Amino acid sequence: MAMATPSPHGELLARHRAVLPSWLSLYYDEPIELVSGEGRYGVDGEGKRYLDFFARIFTTSAGHNVPEVVDAIKEQAGRLLHSSTLYLIRPMVELAERIARLSTIPEAKVFFVNSGTEAVESALMLSCIARASNQVLAVRHSYHGRSFATMSVTGNRMWSASSLSPLNVSYVQSGYRLRSPFGPLDDKELTESCVRDLREVIETTTAGDVACMIAEPIQGVGGFVVPPDGFFGAMKEVLDEYGILFISDEVQTGWGRTGEHFWGFEAHDLVPDLATFAKGLGNGLAIGGIVGRGDLIDSVNANSISTFGGNPLAASGALANLDYLLSHDLQGNALTVGRYLLQELNDRVAHFGVVAEVRGKGLMIGVELVEPGTLVGSPAAAKQVLETCRDQGLLIGLGGLYGNVLRIAPPMSVTIGEATDALEILTDALMSVERLAT
Ligand SMILES: Cc1ncc(COP(=O)(O)O)c(C=O)c1O
């Protein structure tokens, strides 16, 4: 009998599985290749069109194939791809000037790398050098990357493959209410309790001379956990008493995605010592970095380079993308469309038995799924919604401690019309898991 010819995706999947790591997880029972995109839409290798509400992990901030960004990349690629940090790089200097100004950090300096992991790694290294300590505070449910140091400040078992670490880490509360003993408290009491807990963690689990605390203003991989406004500002008051530095991980929350602010930390009434960034800056180009107090950034006491960090191609594309985000007020758009999505999801699905919580800010919206009548996370329901949405032409993401949180995070240029189309698909998909579960 003749063997059936595999589909283009099936054939690529077999090749992928043969030569790439088993832990490089793919979405969907039948994974897809995305081959082109336009605005908020993407097309796969078999010609199916999708509305993209995960923005390739929040990286496509302006949208797919934005002419202003693509033209800048083409123009730079036609002249010079690379020169290394041994030579002056005009677009890198310009980008650093822009980010330093935007950061609100006084006399800020910037260091560019190639990913969020590398950015967090650099911020941790700088803090540890500056404070001559390897003790670090991190937040439960956090995600900061896949290297040894970043994994060790990741408070999520699903993403922490090893306890080997260059750091000594103590974990503090995140302000995530759902399963927390502090959950029933109002915002003020929750913040005060977590701040008291922070002080106790410093006093009881560290040697006192802690280098830094790292936190995401809104936890991304954790499932869009939004602590009360001012939460980390209140924590920072305690950190300041001990001289502990504060690193704001803005890899997901930067560039206006939270709608209310340009940086996530601004909701917390604080100015960080260091902030890390990546993802949305390059609209898909590999660029990340840190911005922070100049004296801290200058505190490395040996030579250090980044061969590709701030390279002409990535820096030119990022400059064009930043121009686009700012000149089109995509932060304002994230606020408007984000509020619409949040309100509609609350109205349409928050009362479902499988939905424990609809939460978020700006274009970071999470729907946490559980077994009805319990707080037991339901990754199976989340996976089914993901699959159904994909069948219906909508890409969304997953997150949360148990992989049971739907994550909705379209490019920041998304329109109300596109949000309405996505809501229809998502509501229907949730309705079908609700019917099965109740
Ligand atoms: C908050 C945060 N920090 C760091 C990282 C690591 O970034 P990258 O995957 O670019 O290494 C991520 C990635 O999702 C992230 O969400």
Task: Give the model confidence (pLDDT) of 359-389 as tens digits.
Answer: 999 999 999 999 999 999 999 999 999 999 9
CA nearest 249: which of 285, 278, 210?
278
Task: Report, as an integer, the average pLDDT of 11-24.
Answer: 96
Task: Report, as an integer, the average pLDDT of 6-17.
Answer: 95
Ligand 1 pocket list (CB less than 6 A): 57, 115-117, 120, 143-145, 216, 220-221, 249, 251-252, 278
Task: Report, as an integer, the average pLDDT of 58-64.
Answer: 96
From 54, 159, 251, 287, the mutation candidate for ligand 1 (largest count of ligand atoms within 8 A of CB) is 251
Q: Which residues contact 81 (CB under 8 A, 6 or more apart)?
A: 311, 312, 313
Residue 292 has pLDDT above 90, yes or no: yes
Residue nearest atom 7 of ligand 1, based on CA coordinates: 116
Burial 228-262 (b: 16+ CB within 10 A, else e): bbebbbbbbebbeeeebbbbbbbbbbbbbbbbbbb
Alpha-carbon distance of 168 to 153, in angstroms, equals 9
From 120, 219, 248, the mutation candidate for ligand 1 (largest count of ligand atoms within 8 A of CB) is 120
CA nearest 246: which of 210, 277, 279?
210
DSSP state string for 19-52: HS-TTS--SSSS---EEEEEBTEEEETTS-EEEE
Name the DSSP class of 225: B
Q: Which residues on neighbouring strands pair with residue 41, listed in sequence order?
A: 38, 51
From 61, 252, 281, 308, the mutation candidate for ligand 1 (largest count of ligand atoms within 8 A of CB) is 252
CA nearest 218: which of 344, 399, 426?
399
Average confidence score pLDDT of the chain: 96
Q: pLDDT of 101-160, one tens digit each? A: 999 999 999 999 999 999 999 999 999 999 999 999 999 999 999 999 999 999 998 898
Cα 65 to ligand 1 centroid, rounded to whole Å: 23
DSSP E strands, 221-354: 245-249, 274-277, 288-293
CA nearest 369: which of 344, 392, 401, 409?
401
H/E stretch holding 323: helix 312-327
Predicted pLDDT of residue 1: 61
Q: Which residues contact 15 (CB under 8 A, 6 or more apart)?
A: none
Alpha-carbon distance of 399 to 388, in angstroms, equals 17
For residue 39, the one-letter residue type is G
Cα 74 to ligand 1 centroid, rounded to whole Å: 27
Helix, coil or strand: residue 314? helix
Using pLDDT thresholds of 50, 70 and 90, give the confidence band for residue 304: confident
Predicted pLDDT of residue 401: 94
Q: How far is CA 166 from CA 66, 90, 146, in A?
A: 41, 35, 14
Using pLDDT thresholds of 50, 70 and 90, give the confidence band for residue 162: confident
| Helix 187-205 / helix 231-242 crossing angle, nearest 10 deg | 30
Task: Report, as an integer, the average pLDDT of 239-267.
Answer: 98
Cα 162 to ligand 1 centroid, rounded to whole Å: 17
Predicted pLDDT of residue 301: 87
Q: What share of the chain is helix, strand, coil (3-state, %, to 5)?
A: 40, 20, 40
Alpha-carbon distance of 279 to 114, in angstroms, equals 10
The ligand 1 atom nearest the CA atom of 221: 16
pTM of the model: 0.97
Cα 113 to ligand 1 centroid, rounded to whole Å: 13
Cα 432 to ligand 1 centroid, rounded to whole Å: 32
The ligand 1 atom nearest the CA atom of 278: 10
Cα 194 to ligand 1 centroid, rounded to whole Å: 25
Cα 177 to ligand 1 centroid, rounded to whole Å: 23
Residue 413 has pLDDT above 70, yes or no: yes
Cα 145 to ligand 1 centroid, rounded to whole Å: 5
The ligand 1 atom nearest the CA atom of 216: 1
Using pLDDT thresholds of 50, 70 and 90, give the confidence band for residue 325: very high
Residue nearest atom 9 of ligand 1, based on CA coordinates: 116
Residue 420 has pLDDT above 70, yes or no: yes
Cα 275 to ligand 1 centroid, rounded to whole Å: 13
Predicted pLDDT of residue 2: 65
Quickly tell me which residue has 């010592």 as its tokens: 273
Quickly tell me which residue has 């200097």 as its tokens: 93
Q: Which two tokens stand for residue 163?
A: 């306890």
Q: Which two tokens stand for residue 296?
A: 């801290």
